[in-house]
Amino acid sequence: MAQFGTEFRKRYFPHIPDDLIPVNHGSRGLTPKPILEYLDAMNKEHELDPDEFYLIRAKDRYVNQLKSLSEFLKVDYRNLILITHATMAVNCVLRSIPWDFKKDKILIHSSTYRACAYSVDFLHDRFNLQFDVVDILYPMEDDEIVQKFETKLSHTKYKLCMFDTICSMPGVRFPYKELIKVCKKYDTWSLIDGAHGVGLENMDFICELKPDFITSNLHKWFSTPKSCAFIYVDPKHHRLMQTFPISWSYPLNSTKNNKEVEENILIEKFWYVGTINYSAAFCIEKAIEFRKNICGGEENIHEYQKELEKKAIDIVLREFGSGAKFLDNNAHTLNCIGMFNISFPKNEKNTKFIENLSESYDDYRKFKLRCETRMIKEDKTFAPFIAHNNELWVRFSVNIYNIASDYEKSARLVKRVIDKCIEEELE
């Protein structure tokens, strides 16, 4: 079996430039070479005889990918939709629901991925859909988070509650299993943003807890190319789902469909929404094979990530220096496999500046852009950060092509850039 680390990177990720230190897998994912080669073949297939491809082959291929994915997820393939990415999926669900804008409400939390929260803002601004926000300030205990949700849910009727498997920034695990149960208790639909889901978390909870809707990217942690994600929809909601964009299958909502169409309604609606490129989605089966046969399965992958993450946390703490903290709670439930967060050390000079960033989103955005551009252009490494609860939390990712020295080098470079940018801001 392949040895993870340096040799693995050379063999399966030779396209990563030698001078790049990739410690930000969490944002977009990186695809192994054999799958990129298959992607090329799929792209070509679209162009050889497009009529034959779209009219004869595409639907079977789509269904085959659903079947492979459903086996991995242990759910019925007829409950799945393939879609490009998590933001699209959240939009698709939220814009499918036949809201009663006079009374329906949504509950989200303050660490919701902004692009997805904007989708709620849109429904509010355009249609006056009401929403509430649960405030999250890390580090928090899971019990406290669940309690905050439960307090809202028990006092107000919400039609839907949206929360994450793993939040984006800081990159921490959310108590999603408990929250699915709490939503059921209050008869509130759950929409789970599992952008960081398959490939990091054990997804058996879908068949065990049966959330109403969940999406997960496959291009982040599951080795497929960009852009590739799925939505799981509980059978009781199949009928309400609408394609995004609205397209050819729209009449299926109003016609009397035969039993077979009804039982496969998500496939019938979603397999064709126009002349789109299916190539990334058609790599799902290959990604599953790669992770099983080349990587030795999910457990093997996670074992490597866990061991390396332990070392990487110590290294980044050491490189950031005195005052740097690892983001964790008392129960040690925040940290996930694959990502960790370290606070940028505060000192006499920079404390006020850093604390202001968590008060002013505009200042934070400007500062972030300045640092990110430098990291990417000048230093060939990039670790995103967020100003949250008076700290700058820097997020590092850990994957099978990484080695310990990646964290030594990247932490040093990231620290230098942030220090320098703060210095310039304070001049």
If one asks whether residue 188 binds ligand PLP (CB under 6 A), the answer comes out as: no
Nearest residue to 291 (alpha-carbon basis) of 5, 31, 17: 31
Question: What residues from 334 to 373 belong to the interface with ligand PLP (CB under 6 A)?
Answer: none
CB 58 within 8 A of CB 281: no
Runs of H (alpha helix) within 128-229: 142-155, 176-185, 205-209
How near is the Cβ of 116 to ligand PLP at its closest, in Å? 6
Taking CB atoms, the residue at the shortest distance from ligand PLP is 168
How near is the Cβ of 386 to ligand PLP at its closest, in Å? 11
Runs of H (alpha helix) within 253-297: 259-263, 265-270, 284-289
How near is the Cβ of 182 to ligand PLP at its closest, in Å? 20
If one asks whether residue 198 binds ligand PLP (CB under 6 A), the answer comes out as: no
CA angle 419/328/340 to nearest 5° reads 55
Rounded CA separation 341/395 (Å): 4
Nearer Cβ to ligand PLP, position 219 or 269?
Answer: 219
Task: Find the helix or strand (DSSP H, E) in which 192 lies.
Answer: strand 189-194
CB 192 within 8 A of CB 211: yes
Question: What residues from 207 to 246 belong to the interface with ligand PLP (CB under 6 A)?
Answer: 217
Identity of the amino acid at 214: I
Rounded CA separation 394/312 (Å): 13
Nearer Cβ to ligand PLP, position 228 or 313?
Answer: 228
If one asks whether residue 87 binds ligand PLP (CB under 6 A), the answer comes out as: yes
Structure tokens at 328: 């964790």
CA angle 128/130/133 to nearest 5° reads 140
Please state the φ and ψ torsions of residue 277, each to the nearest 5 degrees: -95, 120
CB 297 within 8 A of CB 72: no
Q: Which span (64-72, 96-104, 192-200, 365-373) binds ligand PLP, by CB under 6 A?
A: 192-200
How near is the Cβ of 89 to ligand PLP at its closest, in Å? 8
- The residue from 85, 152, 346, 395 that contacts ligand PLP (CB under 6 A) is 85
Cβ neighbors of 315 (< 8 A, separation 6 or more) are 404, 407, 408, 411
How near is the Cβ of 96 to ligand PLP at its closest, in Å? 17
Rounded CA separation 346/353 (Å): 9
How near is the Cβ of 85 to ligand PLP at its closest, in Å? 3
The single residue listed with the structure tokens 């939503």 is: 183
Question: By rule CB under 6 A, what string of x and - marks binding of each residue 91-120 to ligand PLP?
Answer: ----------------------x-xx----
Runs of H (alpha helix) within 205-244: 205-209
The single residue listed with the structure tokens 């061991």 is: 307
Q: How many residues bind ligand PLP (CB under 6 A)?
A: 14
Q: Which span (85-93, 98-106, 241-249, 354-362) binds ligand PLP, by CB under 6 A?
A: 85-93
Question: What residues from 117 to 176 belong to the interface with ligand PLP (CB under 6 A)?
Answer: 164, 167-168
- The residue from 75, 195, 371, 422 that contacts ligand PLP (CB under 6 A) is 195
Nearer Cβ to ligand PLP, position 94 or 315?
Answer: 94
Nearer Cβ to ligand PLP, position 165 or 188?
Answer: 165
CB 383 within 8 A of CB 395: yes
What 3-state class would DSSP assign to 306? helix
Nearer Cβ to ligand PLP, position 30 or 315?
Answer: 30
- The residue from 45, 104, 142, 193 that contacts ligand PLP (CB under 6 A) is 193
- The residue from 42, 86, 198, 316 that contacts ligand PLP (CB under 6 A) is 86
- The residue from 11, 27, 247, 294 that contacts ligand PLP (CB under 6 A) is 27
Task: Kindly state the DSSP code that residue 238 receives in the 8-state scheme.
Answer: G
Nearer Cβ to ligand PLP, position 63 or 115?
Answer: 115
Which positions touch ligand PLP (CB under 6 A)? 27, 85-87, 113, 115-116, 164, 167-168, 193, 195-196, 217
